[in-house]
Structure 1
Amino acid sequence: MIKYLNSLKRVLVILSCILLLIGLAGCNSTPSRLTESQLSSYFADNQFANHNKYYIESAKDIFTLDDDIKKTIRRKISSTHSHEERVKRLMTEIIGKPNKDYIYSGAADLTASEAYRYKTANCLSLTIMAYSMAKEANIGAAFQEVFVPEFWTDRQGQKLANGHVNLRLFATQHNHIYHHSIYTKEVDFAPEVNSQSLNKRTISKAHIQALFYNNRAANALIEGDLDYAYHYLKQAIELHPDDSPTWSNLGLLYKRRQLIALAEKAYNKALELDPNNLTPLDNLAVLYKQQGKLALSKSIQDKLKTKRANNPFYHQYQGDLALESGDYLAAVSHYKRAIRIAPKHDSFYFGLARAYYSLGDNNKTQQYLAKAKRYADFDDDSHRYQAKLNMLGN
């Protein structure tokens, strides 16, 4: 079992549809510059099943659209030669509106064609879909990593730390001497993310492919398939060795397989690439505690607490932990601190309502459920809060 903060399990994964209000993290990344021999020293093929047993999707599998989807795009775009109109038409008639035409599901790591057909995927997969559609429409597109604070979601009892990517569309006008951008538009499948106010950087298609593998690896970890997870992570690192979260996930995998020295090595590689990535620090603190290096573990934990003090999602996370352990008054305190930092986020109020419900205070439960509904960005969340209010009112 993987242990994290307060002995809960957590897997770091770029699932890319998150809520944020303040701060940024992970802006610095140092290229790894590993030789092939150095890179191989981080792997442990002999500890896992042969890779021939597992299918790893190719770039063609991930990015290629089915022929009928391509025909739909060409039919809707072909009637206009305006660069701006082509982008707008792609946005409104083909990609559609997040949370209206597509439903977010953190566990749905799908290819471009699958995301279009099922209309349900996580934001990484939806961004891949939008990129492939833009390319088919002869519209320029670039992937962007958006630097966001730590944020945790829960899946099957495991805490997932999330990141975020989006897409920038651009149409260009050419003449005989030069070309220049005349229209740009961001496509973001997390509309509650105010990405305009956050730092971001353009990342490569290969990096996105590696993130896709990282997501698949995290899902395999959750399901307990360590061999499949290993081969996805190895493929991700070989494709793009400079991604800190992927190295952190490799460390988690090694820890589960009791390859402690390799786990520590992978965590330190993650920190070398991005000193602002706090998750491998978390994992190192747990690892050192289990090894009896208590002073070193406590030093890291104190540093983490200081760094996270102004992150409302950290206080929400602590509230969730308190709620799960039955310390409802502590949960109330943590959720209220999150609200003081970021007062317009629905899940903070929902957590507070859950805490008061556990304390038997129905009036405050209804009060904070109503506030959660007021600040909900997604229709399904709003309906969920209303259903709970209706139940309490009966």
Structure 2
Amino acid sequence: MNGWKSLALLALLAAAPTPLLAAPADTAATQAPAVEPIPSPQQILAIPPDLRALLQERVIAPVSSREQRLVRLVHLIFDEDAMHLEYDPYATHTLAETWKTHRANCLSFTLMFVTLARAAGIDARVQEVAQVVTWHQDQGVIYNVGHVNVGLNLNGRTAVVDLDRNVLYDRYGPRPITEQRALAHFYNNRGAEHMAEGDTAQARVYLDAALAMAPAFPAGWNNLGVLDTREGRLDQARKDYEQALQLQPRHAAALTNASALYRRLGDARRADVLAKRLEQVQKSDPFAQFRFGNEAEQRHDYAQAIAYYQQAVRLYSSAHQFHFGLARAYFLAGNTRRASLEMLRARDLAGEDADVLRATYQAKLDSLQKWRERTASN
């Protein structure tokens, strides 16, 4: 999963290739490094001729019904004899690059799906979610402060197409955004990726493009602040972070970065104010509490993990992932009774449509029961 990147200097709060802890660049350098031209909005969304021909042949020409075209479009993207798209969290691609590589993250997939759907006469739009958690049973938990997906209107009915079916949205859910903001996500992601690779000159071109597309984009201002900090432009970084916080006062990454910057600048009072605001934001954020619980669990501090997971559940009681985390922490702490109760709740909240997930939770419940029976008999 990869929506938009909002980076923190002290803690990586969104999916990104590497932490941004490199020393600031030498600002005394007199020769600016060369940068590659960035794709225009038209180039990002341009449908390659061979893909357009396939869309006409397999989706548009055979049927006139929008519902049938939607089904055919899904097959076109995922079938082995067509695009056979695969998920790649680092693939912030143009449509042409996605078609060439057959790889996309959630942003690239969404941009492509919406563009192709509209070409087929389907009412589609890009939607964003402020925060998500995605759950993979064997790989753990992945946190992201941003996610995008596809919203559809079909004969008065709405639907969502999401590349990651295991995403837990925040309590506000997906919200439609403009094409300009969707493209700002693209430029912002590319900028964050180049910054993580140490290519600050190229990163700046992309981040400037993101903010040109959507000046009221907090993640872009935050990332520009990270870039200015890395390059030693501390006063400009301060302005960047303040702009991000003016747009979104509860922006966790900007609060983290701005507090650290003010402390570095010797303004301990302002640093403390922002740190306290961040603490209040995190206390009321179930996603942050869940992340803290997972981190405590990894440290084998199960009592602390239980406390964090309990707070996450209090704030967002319908999230089966949070109940499962609490069940796991209870089990690791030796409280199998409460672990069973929370596992049962997680199973019930998984929903009737999540058969595989419900079966997984049921299997874990059965294992817990057998373990309790064995220990009781000893």
**TM > 0.5 fold call:** yes
Confirm or deny that 1:254 pairs with 2:228: yes
Mark the CA change 1:117 to 1:213 in structure 2 (over 3 Å): closer, same or farther. same
1:362–1:54 distance in 2 versus 1, CA, 3 Å: farther
CA contact (8 A) 2:150 2:161 kept: yes
Q: CA deviation at 1:273?
A: 2.9
Residue 54 of structure 1 corresponds to 36
Per-residue deviation, 1:92: 4.5
Alignment of 1:22-101 (within 5 A): 50=32, 52-76=34-58, 77-82=60-65, 84-85=66-67, 87-90=69-72, 92-95=74-77
Aligned to 1:10: 12
Counterpart selection for 2:116 from 133, 143, 150: 133
Partners of 2:7 and 2:253 within 8 A in 1: no
SS in 2 for 1:167: strand
TM-score, structure 1 length as denominator?
0.67
Cα shift at 1:251: 0.6
Query: Percentage identity across aligned positions?
Result: 28
Deviates more, 1:383-392 or 1:243-252: 383-392
Q: Do residues 200 (structure 1) and 175 (structure 2) align?
A: yes
In structure 2, the partner of 1:331 is 305
Q: 3-state DSSP class of the match of 2:284?
A: coil
1:82-138 Cα distance to aligned partner (Å, 9 max, x none): 4x34553455443569xxx86544333222244456554322111111022123324
Distance in 1 (alpha carbons) for counterparts of 2:195 and 2:134: 17
CA contact (8 A) 1:90 1:134 kept: no
- Secondary structure of the residue that 1:10 maps to in structure 2? coil
The letter for the 1-side match of 2:48 is D
How far off is 1:234 after superposition?
2.0
Report the residue type matching 1:131 in the other structure. Answer: V
Distance 1:322 1:85, change over 3 A: closer
What is the Cα-based RMSD across aligned positions, in Å? Answer: 4.6
- 1:302 corresponds, among 257, 276, 280, to 276
Structure 2 equivalent of residue 188 of structure 1: 161
The alpha-carbon deviation at position 218 of structure 1 amounts to 1.9
Runs of 5+ unmatched residues, structure 2: 1-5, 18-25, 136-141, 372-378
* CA deviation profile, 1:155-202 (whole Å, cap 9, x unmatched): xxxx9642233334457xxxxxxxxxx556444315455799647243
Contact 2:27 2:232 survives alignment (8 Å): no
Whether 2:263 is the aligned partner of 1:281: answer: no
Alignment-derived partner of residue 206 in structure 2: 232
Aligned partner of 1:313 among 287, 305, 308 = 287
**Equivalent AA in structure 2 for residue 259 of structure 1:** R
Q: Distance in 2 between matches of 1:48 and 1:11?
A: 33
Q: What TM-score does the superposition give when structure 2 sets the normalisation length?
A: 0.69
Tell me if the contact between 2:286 and 2:316 (Cα under 8 Å) persists in the aligned partners.
Answer: yes
Distance 1:327 1:186 in 2: 41
Deviation at 1:372, TM superposition (A): 6.7
| Cα deviation, residue 391, structure 1 | 11
Bigger RCO of structures 1 and 2 (CA < 8 A, at least 6 apart): 1
- Alpha-carbon distance change, 325 to 196 in structure 1, aligned in 2, over 3 angstroms: closer
Residues 27 and 231, structure 2, Cα contact 8 Å, conserved in 1: no
Q: Aligned AA for 1:10?
A: L
Partner Cα separation in structure 2 for residue 359 and residue 385 of structure 1:
19
Contact 2:45 2:94 in 1 (8 A): yes
- Tell me the residue number matched to 1:178: none
Distance 1:46 1:124, change over 3 A: farther
The residue number in structure 2 matching 1:176 is none
Name whichever of 130-139 and 371-380 sits farther off.
371-380
Residue 164 (structure 1) aligns with: 147
**Is the CA contact 1:168–1:186 (under 8 Å) kept in the aligned structure 2?**
yes
Work out whether 1:123 is the aligned partner of 2:75. no
CA-CA distance at 1:248 after TM superposition: 0.6
Q: Tell me the SS of whatever aligns to 1:144.
A: strand
C-alpha spacing 1:194/1:359, structure 2 compared with 1 (3 Å): closer
1:268 aligns with 2:250: no
Structure 2 CA distance, aligned partners of 1:360 and 1:348?
19
- 1:316, 1:358 → 2: CA distance? 16
Alpha-carbon distance in 2 for matches of 1:364, 1:196: 26
**Secondary structure, counterpart of 2:91 in structure 1:** coil
* Equivalent position amino acid for 1:247 in 2: W
1:21 — aligned with what? none
Q: Give the distance between the partners of 2:361 and 2:115, measured in 1 at CA.
A: 36
C-alpha distance in 2, partners of 1:375/1:129?
A: 32
The equivalent position to 1:110 in structure 2, one of 74, 93, 103, is 93
